[in-house]
Structure 1
């Protein structure tokens, strides 16, 4: 598993400071990448979990996606949120095809670098993840993008589908989730 240092330690990829110990570009670059990493790492991990990844698979794929941004690609992206999710999802799919199971459990690394600590799921969120697992791949994909705040048009552009196809998959997913989670009965009984 590839790990990226935790927020606050992203300086490892930046150029060394000048002889006086100053580098204004370094400070701006560091702040920009740290803000992107801090703001999106947890969200990308949860997005992948909504698509079926375990918390460890999701964190690993999210880290790999962030690694592809270094050293300079992150500055050039027009839509970094969508780009990160697309790359992370493709990375997760590649990981799933070459998945191996170790014989012994792998110990956690010391130092608090595990991103899984940032993803704590409530009982309700766990129930929703299980229900998402029962959707078709297209429905689950449409719902995951919507849960992450993307419009149908943005999702369609990223996935290379028509907005109507994404909208229909979302509507089907929403109806199935209402049924799977028992929300219809609560709505009908006035609770």
Structure 2
């Protein structure tokens, strides 16, 4: 079963109708509901808070200008998620930060000696490990594991092949295991 996206928010038809009619209050409500999921997705893909904030703004502007193109038939959140993914990937390409292969060097993560609750410490460690990965690898891992995209869908989004997605996922997973000091499962 694919993971449930943080975008999986049901938007009432009445709210969409008001947004299509240009009602500012409807756009503000949609913005409030989706600001955090768009920011999180953009941060995971771009690896930079400022870039992620820009992706939120670009995504919401595109939503504002193209809301009339959403015809239904699929969830609104899926349509908006697709806009956000495209905006984040376009920003990476535009900034030439789109590394196409994972670097196989073994840089250590910066140490943080603050005391956090175990779950928060694990989340912070995972965030630092993800940020140590090249943008393309981090994007594949996030799109596959967190957003539930298939390798074929990732390949289309990134204008690559499914084998590229699969190899980046495998290499990125190995690199994350190393950075997080998780032992590889043995194949007996």
Tell me the TM-score range normalised by the shorter chain. Answer: 0.5 to 0.7
Alpha-carbon deviation of 1:45? 1.1
Aligned counterparts of 1:170 and 1:34: Cα–Cα separation in 2: 36
Distance 1:27 1:142 in 2: 32
Q: Please name the residue that 1:112 is paired with.
A: none
Q: Provide closer, same or farther for how the CA distance between residues 86 and 128 of structure 1 changes in structure 2, counting only shifts above 3 A.
A: same
Deviations 1:85-138 (A, max 9, x none): 2113434665799xxxxxxxxxxxxxxxxxxxxxxx933222112111222333
2 CA distance for matches of 1:140 and 1:70? Answer: 29
Partner in structure 2 of residue 171 of structure 1: 170
Residue 150 of structure 1 aligns to a residue in which SS?
coil
Shift of 1:61: 2.1
Which residue in 1 is equivalent to 2:181? 182
CA distance in 1, matches of 2:92, 2:68: 24
- Figure out how many residues of one structure are paired with residues of the other and give that number: 140
Over 3 Å counting, the alpha-carbon distance change for 1:165 and 1:89 in structure 2 is: closer
Higher RCO structure (Cα 8 Å, ≥6 apart): 2
- Indicate the residue corresponding to 1:109 in structure 2: none
In 1, are the aligned partners of 2:46 and 2:92 still within 8 Å (CA)?
A: no
Q: Contact conserved, 1:58 with 1:92, CA < 8 A, in 2?
A: no
2:140 is aligned to 142
The equivalent of 2:18 in structure 1 is 26
Q: 1:152 to 1:52 in 2, by over 3 A?
A: same
So what's the TM-score if we normalise by structure 1?
0.57
Q: Distance in 1 between matches of 2:56 and 2:92?
A: 8
Rounded Cα–Cα distance in structure 1 between residues aligned with 2:162 and 2:26: 32
Could you say what the CA RMSD is over the residues aligned between the two structures, in angstroms? 3.5
Distance in 1 (CA, whole Å) between partners of 2:18 and 2:55 is 27
**1:174 shift after superposition:** 0.9
The answer on 1:88 being equivalent to 2:85 is no
- 2:59–2:87 CA contact under 8 A, matched in 1: yes
Structure 1 spans left out of the alignment, 5+ residues: 1-23, 98-120
Do residues 74 (structure 1) and 73 (structure 2) align? Answer: no
User: 8 Å contact 2:129–2:180 — kept in the other structure?
Assistant: yes
Distance 1:51 1:171, change over 3 A: same
What is the CA–CA distance in structure 1 between the aligned matches of 2:96 and 2:61, rounded to whole Å?
19
For structure 2, the 5+ residue unaligned runs are: 1-15, 72-78, 98-118
